[in-house]
Chains A and B, each alone.
Chain A
Amino acid sequence: MGDYGIRVSKEGVDVKTGDDKDMILTSKYPLMKEALSGGGTVTLVSGVQYTLTIAHSLGYIPFMTAYIDDGFGKFSISPVWADSATETLNVYTKTDANYGYIIFYWENYVSGGTKSLKYKYFIYLDKGKLS
């Protein structure tokens, strides 16, 4: 059987002869599919780990990414590990069959206190662990 399915090329590329990597879409290669996304702000206490829990109800372990604000309007993709003479920040993600988690740890060695961070997450239909 010859090649079958759907193929959409980007502008300037011949849909019949163009390379697969220059397609907008081809039924040969799945796209990453978002199941849910969201964001918010957490307030961290110096020296105390905080875990944000997000229910996804997919029943399997999905793929997840998260982005974390550095406090100055710039976001990094997690995991984040930032150390300075006065502070440390560690943020990473974890998913299981029912929940996605963003785990935060922040400590100010000098003055303690609290810190607010913005976050954003994407949980995908695509699996984070194959069976």
Chain B
Amino acid sequence: MGNYGIRVAQKGYDAKTCPDDKLVFSSSFQTLKTFLVTSATDKIPSGNYDDFTVNVSTDELISSGHGLSVGDPVNFTTTDKLPTPLKTYDEGMIYFVVYTTANTFKVSETKGGTPVDITDNGSGTHTWWNDETKLVIQHNLGYYAPYVVVYNGSSRTGLGSSYFFSDSTGTPMGTQWTNYKDHVEIHVNDGFDDPNSQPGDTIYFTIYVYLDDFSTINENNIITSGSSGGYGNDYGFRVSKDGYDVKTCEDKDLVVSSSTPTHIVHKKGTTTSSDVYHNLGYVPAFLAYAEDNNNIYVVDSTISTTKLTMGYGTSSNYYYIIFKNRNY
């Protein structure tokens, strides 16, 4: 049986003969679908810290003149054992202040949530730290999905920019901005974006989560060479988002258009190997993540004309998507 399905070429290319990387999309190849795009804000934490005791009957943490506000993130350390059921920062827990007086406060596991019911005093010296915050963006997909976090600046730097997985000084943030199977977490400490931003500044993000998972797609080259066709008037097809007029809306408000190339998946999957061969013969675009502690994060990887080499991760489970889009 010959090839069947649908094939849409970029403007100026013959849909029958163009190379695969000049397609808008084809029913032979999966594309990267946007499941969720949203914005989120938080504040750079103060970096303050102090010791505390607890009042078990009221669930309050006692710390004279703590200066915390409702919504502030706190994490805990101890010289021995924290009051039950509080967990330490090293156990991966960041809490949020939900109630304050001048000298006491209560915490919850979620912003605005129910205060933690403290049942004993613990032992040793306990310290609270307001030096790291955590933004949670829920997606509930139930599996690892590709994602991107973009930093849009702070109340100090202004909001006229976007930075891909970095702060405005160029510091990579891939390991601090991670994706779990049901949510994305953005961790920011009190030194974030220093010196351009400072503790107390409001910070802004845009988050993309894609619908696609990392189930295996093996490379499936159909055409690797070919020439372009002639140019003509606007032609092809257009699919608009719900609520947008397909004839008049802007290209950015489309699901897909034959005018704009999309990310066509060449190969994707999971691997424990550091090298994934793609056999495209040119350098393609890619996304790569490593798994650690039930989440995935952007891992420093490199790609050549033959293979993707995963960067160092704390585990050896990697998740990758290699696109047909040419990188160089």
Contacts and interface: CB of A to CB of B under 8 A. Distances in A.
Contacts of A39: 327-328
A1 to B, nearest CB: 11
A81 interface: yes
B89 to A, nearest CB: 24
Contacts of B254: 30, 33
Contacts, number: 199
Given A73-B304, A75-B304, A30 B152 contact: no
Contact of B263 (A10, A32, A67): A32
B256 A30 contact: yes
Contact of B256 (A31, A79, A95): A31
Given A125-B252, A129-B206, A91 B170 contact: yes
Most chain A beta-carbon neighbours within 10 Å: one of B32, B150, B257: B150
Contacts of B174: 79
Contacts of A73: 283, 304-305
B257 A118 contact: no
A69 B165 contact: no
Interface in B121-143: none
B315 interface: no
Nearest to B40: A130
Contacts of A29: 33-35, 211, 255
A127 B164 CA distance: 12
A31 B283 contact: no
Contact of B302 (A6, A27, A66, A75): A75
Given A11-B28, A129-B206, A94 B168 contact: yes
